[in-house]
Amino acid sequence: MKSSDKREDFKLDLPRRPRRMRRTASLRGMMQETYVRVEDLIAPLIVKESGEKEPVGSMPGLFRLNIEDLVAECRELAGLGVLAVAIFPNMDASLKDAEGSEAGNPETLTLRAVKAIKEAVPEISVITDVALDPYTSHGHDGVLNAEGSYVMNDETVARLCEMAVLQAKAGVDIVAPSDMMDGRVGAIREALDEAGYIDTAIMAYSAKFASAYYGPYREAVGSASAAGTTLLGKETYQMNPANRREAIMDALMDEDEGADFVMVKPAGAYLDIIRELRDASQVTLAAYQVSGEYAQIHAAAKLGWLDYEKTRDESLLAIKRAGADVILTYFAKEVAKKLRA
C-alpha cells in the first residue's frame, strides 16, 4: 500500500473538533466572544488656542485643533455614536511656569473649550485631564520642591482639587486625575462634593506606568518642548512597569477613595494588568491605548510590515478581550466610521 493511501485511511477518533466552528464566516461569527462597539470608544482630542488645525508629526491623522474645530470634531464624533471625548490642552509656552499657575485660571483654554463643547454638543460626555504637566515649564505633573528634584505630593494634590472644581464648574462630566499622586482621588471627591458637584464623575488613572510609549503625546501637547525631551523621567510618581501587585493595589485604593472609573495606561503592553484588575474591581474599567501604540502601528504599516486596518482592529479587540469596558484611543473616529458603515 502506498504511503498516501495510508494517510487517506487515517482518521482521528475525536469527540470534539474545534475547527468545525471555524469553517465558515457565519459559524465563526456565532462563536465570537468579544466585540468592540462604537460605545466602547473614547476619543482623546488636543485643543490649541488659535490657528488652522495642525498635524502632529509623530501621530498621523491627529491634529491640534482650535476651539471651533474642536467643537466640529465633537459634533462629528457624536454623530458616529461616540459617547465621550477626552480633552488635552496644547498651551502656549508663554503661559507656563514652574507652578503651572495657568491651570487655576477660570478662563484657561481647556475650560473655554469645555464650555463650547457642552453648549454645542451637550449629548457627548466630556472628560478633562487633571494634571499640571501641560501647564508647567518643567513638564512634570506637579509642584517641585525647592531643589527642583522631586514632585511634592500633598501640595500638588491641593492644586489638583482646585483644577477639578474649576473643570466641574465649566460643565465637565468626568474629571480624570492622571498625575499619580497619592490620595488625590479621595481629596478630589471631597472637594467636588463640598463645592456641590456630587454628580461629576472621576476617572482615575490608577495604574499609570512610567512608560516609554508616551513620547508622541508629549510632542502633541507641548510638554516635551517644555521639558526639552520626550523622555522626561517620571519614575517617582508613575508606576514601575515591572510591578503587577502594586498596580492592582493602587487601583483598588482609588476605587475605595471614590473613583467611578479606574484606568490602566498604557493598554497594549499591560493586558495582564487589565485582566487582573477586571477580576478584582467592580467599577468601570478604562484602558488608554497611548500615543506610542498608535504611532508604532502607523509606522509599521507605512513600511509595509503590517496590515494597518487589521492590526489596528486586533489591538483594540485584545484590549477589550482583556477586560476593558471603555478604551481611550486615537483610532476612535476611524473605527467608529467603519463600525457605522
Annotation marks residue 208 as catalytic: yes
Which candidate in 96, 265, 320, 333 is catalytic? 265
Pairing type for strands 54-55 and 284-289 reads: unpaired
The answer to whether 325 touches 284, Cβ cutoff 8 Å, is yes
What is the residue whose three cell numbers read 476593558?
324
Annotation marks residue 302 as catalytic: no
Distance CA 208, CA 292 (A): 14
The answer to whether 279 touches 253, Cβ cutoff 8 Å, is no
SS3 letters across the chain: CCHHHHHHHCCCCCCCCHHHHHCCHHHHHHHCCCCCCHHHEEEEEEECCCCCCEECCCCCCCEEECHHHHHHHHHHHHHHCCCEEEEEECCCHHHCECCCHHHHCCCCHHHHHHHHHHHHCCCCEEEEEECCCCCECCCCCCCECCCCCCECHHHHHHHHHHHHHHHHHHCCCEEEECCCCCCHHHHHHHHHHHCCCCCCEEEEEEEEECCHHHHHHHHHHCHHHHHCCCCCCCCCCCECCCCCHHHHHHHHHHHHCCCCEEEEECCHHHHHHHHHHHHHCCCEEEEEECHHHHHHHHHHHHCCCCCHHHHHHHHHHHHHHHCCCEEEECCHHHHHHHHHC
Distance CA 251, CA 264 (A): 9
Which candidate in 48, 118, 208, 333 is catalytic? 208
Residues with catalytic roles: 208, 265
